[in-house]
Amino acid sequence: MFYRCRCPAHSQMACSNIRYGAGVTKEIGMDLQNMGARNVCLMTDRTLSQLPPVGVVLDSLTKHGVEYKIYEDVRVEPTDKSFKAAIDFAKQGHFDVYVAVGGGSVIDTCKAANLYASHPEAEFLDFVNAPIGKGKPITASLKPLIAVPTTAGTGSETTGVAIFDFENLKAKTGIANRALKPTLGMVDPLHTLHMPSRVAANSGFDVLCHALESFTALPYNLRSPCPSNPINRPAYQGSNPISDVWARHALKIVAKYLKRAVRDAGDVEARSSMHLASVFAGIGFGNAGVHLCHGMSYPIAGNVKTHRARGYNVEHPIVPHGLSVVLTSPAVFAFTANMCPERHLEAAQILGTDVSNIKKDDAGRVLADTLRSILYDLEVEDGLFAIGYTKEDIPSLVKGTIPQERVTKLSPRAHTEEDLTALFAASMKLY
């Protein structure tokens, strides 16, 4: 599974915007030169700015004489405020190409900076997803953006989505538009060797849920309302035969490599395989969408009180995105299974459970048990309770989920506020 790339020209892959290979980033300066870049904005965060992935990029820019300015104030789990700071930097810089080196937080922040610098007259809420924002169409051309992911999770290098915490609402929301999709993703497995073990686990859970949610999302031809013009097609359009290919394939890699990637940062085969799995799952969910685990994760992350995430070098309390997503997954898939039991059973089977004698009615229980067992083995916190929530918090968690209709409406099973309450309650303890 590990492909060592001998040169930058060897490795750009299907689906056009992904280039993959160990060492592929080291010639990024040549790409920027080919693009005629004269004034590059390099975005990263303060931890990464001291690490080899950023060093490799800077060396290459210098070697090829590419002028750049660096912005290293990206917030891990960004907010509207941190987005706006990056946007101000971008507006002042009049950049012609953007380069984002980091995890989803960095890449998403860079997408937003590029978007608003290209629409200097726009209000911040103009492009934010409705109903929180106005969800306006993007009319101007954005500048090229090269994404260099350093975690194996978000798949942000493949998608047109940028997520942030809207601090007033204590919930995550985002901007979703194909125009945000990076021009090029440089997926260099050497970069993931720098992830702490818990970052590998949490970003791996994001991959797992991207694959499971897109695989079980409402099929694209059952989605409603039905837009009368293709231009109003949403970014997330439901499961379909192409996203299914990516979801199944990503799940197989997660089943084989996630535990190894978490246990041993030096397991190059496992870490590079998970890096590709995040790309594969990203291509799938970036098209099909995600549903309840992601929709419910936004208030779980947004309402964080004092939880200090193990292995993260940040000064504020956070629930890492992948953790906030995966903690509700056993409850969610137990809830959705009856709408497409074959897919839930197939997912459980890919994840290692023998389903040969399981009845369809038990599909939800079996997939939930499979997930609990994976989480237990990976020493994940025992439910929402373990990260600081109690039953008293459920109403505000439900309230924070309601505006996430952009994703929750892709759940294969319709749901009420009572259902969401029950799902949060069932996620308080896992084991």
Tokens of 92: 């002042």
Peptide bond into 330 cis (omega under 30): no
**Helix count and strand count (H, E) for the chain:** 15, 8
Quick check: 130 binds a second copy (CB under 8 A)? no
Quick check: 229 binds a second copy (CB under 8 A)? yes
CB of 132 to a second copy, least distance (A): 23
- CB within 8 A of 168, min separation 6: which ones? none
Q: Which is nearer to a second copy, 52 or 219 (CB)?
A: 219
CB-facing half-sphere around the CA of 381: CA atoms within 13 A: 24
Q: Which is nearer to a second copy, 16 or 50 (CB)?
A: 16
Under a CB-based contact definition with an 8 Å cutoff, are residues 239 and 287 in contact? no
The footprint of a second copy on residues 301-330 (CB under 8 A) is: none
Q: Where are the beta strands (DSSP E) in 333-415?
A: none
CB of 33 to a second copy, least distance (A): 9
Q: Which is nearer to a second copy, 245 or 313 (CB)?
A: 245
Reduce the DSSP state of residue 320 to 3 states and report it.
coil
Q: Which helix (H) or strand (E) holds 405?
A: helix 405-408
Q: In the set 65, 141, 168, 230, which binds a second copy (CB under 8 A)?
A: 230
Tell me which amino acid residue 148 is.
Answer: V
Peptide bond into 219 cis (omega under 30): no
Tell me which amino acid residue 413 is.
Answer: R
CA distance to 80, 207, 267, 337, per residue, from 178 (Å): 21, 20, 35, 30
Quick check: 34 binds a second copy (CB under 8 A)? yes
Quick check: 236 binds a second copy (CB under 8 A)? no
Q: Which is nearer to a second copy, 11 or 49 (CB)?
A: 11
The footprint of a second copy on residues 286-305 (CB under 8 A) is: 286-288
Quick check: 30 binds a second copy (CB under 8 A)? yes
Which of these ranges, 87-95, 102-110, 218-226, 294-302, lies near a second copy under the rule CB under 8 A?
Answer: 218-226
Quick check: 18 binds a second copy (CB under 8 A)? yes
Quick check: 238 binds a second copy (CB under 8 A)? yes
CB of 177 to a second copy, least distance (A): 13
Quick check: 412 binds a second copy (CB under 8 A)? no
In which residue are the tokens 């056009």 written? 16
CB of 273 to a second copy, least distance (A): 9
Among residues 232, 380, 377, the alpha carbon closest in space to that of 310 is found at 380
Quick check: 65 binds a second copy (CB under 8 A)? no
Q: Which is nearer to a second copy, 94 or 178 (CB)?
A: 178
**Do β-strands 68-71 and 18-20 pair in parallel, antiparallel, or remain unpaired?**
unpaired
The Cβ of residue 89 has, within 10 Å, a number of other Cβ atoms equal to 18
Q: In the set 39, 240, 373, 421, which binds a second copy (CB under 8 A)?
A: 240
Rg of the chain (C-alpha set): 20
Separation CA 154–CA 423 (nearest Å): 24
Count of residues engaged in binding a second copy, rule: CB under 8 A: 54
Question: Per-residue x/- mask for a second copy, residues 159 to 188, rule CB under 8 A?
Answer: -------------------x--x-------
Q: In the set 109, 151, 216, 243, which binds a second copy (CB under 8 A)?
A: 243
CB of 18 to a second copy, least distance (A): 7
Quick check: 245 binds a second copy (CB under 8 A)? yes
* DSSP alpha helix (H) spans, 151-291: 197-216, 241-263, 268-288
Q: Rule CB under 8 A: which residues touch a second copy?
A: 1, 3-16, 18-21, 27, 30-31, 34, 178, 181, 219-221, 223, 226-233, 237-238, 240-243, 245-246, 249, 276, 279-280, 283-284, 286-288
